[in-house]
């Protein structure tokens, strides 16, 4: 299983079981993907845990009342098939209630951030 699918599934399982926090294995790529999800507003405060070197990352899920902000996600670009989008091809997800995460030359960005920076890239996944 790839890293991005693992992150999506961990967030989905934590949201469905009404957990407050969820932990992920530490790596630079998982930190960048989780940073983009945090900027999109689906998780809060990312903390690194572990002695001397961080071993895992903990993220707090965002709740609106008693329901989680995270409803679902779908993987777009897979290991077997890469999908790239130009900036003009980036459209809103779920009428603007969701976000499309793109891997760009400026890092992992949401669709709104990519339009602001005027860059396209590999469409990783959509989250709503």
Q: In the numeric block, which tokens belong to residue 124? A: 């990783």
Helix (H) or strand (E) run with residue 83 in it: none
41: left (phi over 0), alpha (psi -120 to 50) or beta: left
Q: What is the pLDDT of residues 73-82, one digit of tens each?
A: 999 999 899 9
Q: What is the mean pLDDT of residues 6-13?
A: 96
Number of structural domains (the chain) is 1
Q: What is the pLDDT of residues 34-70, one digit of tens each?
A: 999 999 999 998 888 887 777 899 999 999 999 999 9
| CA atoms 98, 23, 45, 30: torsion sign | negative
Which CATH number do you get for residue 82? 3.30.1490.10
Pairing of strands 56-61, 67-68: unpaired
Say if CB 12 and CB 27 are below 8 A apart.
no
Domain residue limits at 65: 3-127
Pairwise CA distance, residues 16 & 110, whole Å:
23
Helix (H) or strand (E) run with residue 109 in it: strand 107-110
Q: What is the pLDDT of residues 16-36, one digit of tens each?
A: 999 999 999 988 999 999 999
pLDDT at 49: 82
């Amino acid at each position: 299983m790839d890293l991005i699918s693992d992150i999506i599934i961990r967030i989905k399982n934590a949201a469905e079981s009404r957990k407050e926090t969820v932990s992920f294995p530490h790596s630079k790529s998982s930190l960048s993907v989780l940073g983009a999800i945090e900027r999109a507003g689906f998780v809060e405060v990312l903390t690194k845990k572990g002695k001397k070197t961080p071993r895992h990352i903990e993220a707090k899920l965002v709740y609106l009342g008693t329901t989680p902000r995270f409803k679902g996600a779908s993987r777009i670009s897979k290991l077997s098939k890469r999908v790239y989008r130009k900036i003009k091809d980036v459209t809103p997800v779920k009428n603007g209630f969701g976000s499309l995460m793109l891997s760009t030359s400026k890092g992992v960005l949401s669709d709104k951030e990519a339009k602001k920076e005027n860059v396209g890239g590999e469409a990783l996944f959509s989250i709503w």
